[in-house]
Amino acid sequence: MRYTVSADANVFLDGLLQRGIMGVAALEIIELGEQNKLALFISSSNLLNVISFLKKVNKTNYEITFLVKNLLSFTTINSPDNSIFINALDAEFSDIEDAVQYHTALQIKGVDYFITSNVKDFKKASARLPVVTPTQFLSNYNKTRTTK
């Protein structure tokens, strides 16, 4: 089974910068996308957040360009529209930006998981799209691969 997943900016940053306790798992998810073992999505606004944060940690324009071009070679950008924003605003998430990211992911045909390092802000998520940490996703992914 090839999963389709949407990941938020923190997953990409944790993986690229080997940051925090999720860094190794996040990098593994990025690598699975690069190996075409899963379909990996990021919203346009989250990609801008990644770029902005990379600037804040003093990456050069060359380094940022290299990293982002590499990500774009195997990651699909999806973008919110008016209806997604309205649905997100009506969703009553504690963080509006997280609601927009989640509802943007819901528009992806066949999406299996929304991956974030910050699951606590997704208590209002729908059962239709599970929210998991990078570690939880990899556990599910590995179980599926070993039961084939």
The third-level CATH classification (topology) of the domain covering 3-146 is Rossmann fold (3.40.50)
Asked if residue 145 lies in contact with residue 37, where contact means CB atoms within 8 angstroms, the answer is: no
Among 41, 54, 115, 26, which residue's Cα sits nearest to residue 80?
Answer: 41
pLDDT digits (tens, 9 = 90+) for 130-147: 999 999 999 999 988 776
Average of pLDDT values for 96-108?
A: 95
- Rounded to 5 degrees, φ, ψ at 40 are -110, 130
Instruction: Give the residue from 76, 56, 79, 54 showing the smallest Cα distance to 65.
Output: 54
Our CA angle for 110, 68, 15, nearest 5°, is 70
How much is the pLDDT for 110? 95
> Residue ranges of the domains in the chain?
3-146
Residues 40-77: tens digit of each pLDDT? 999 999 999 999 999 999 999 999 999 999 999 999 99
The closest alpha carbon to 7, from 37, 36, 46, belongs to 46
Answer yes or no: are the C-beta atoms of 75 and 42 closer than 8 Å: yes
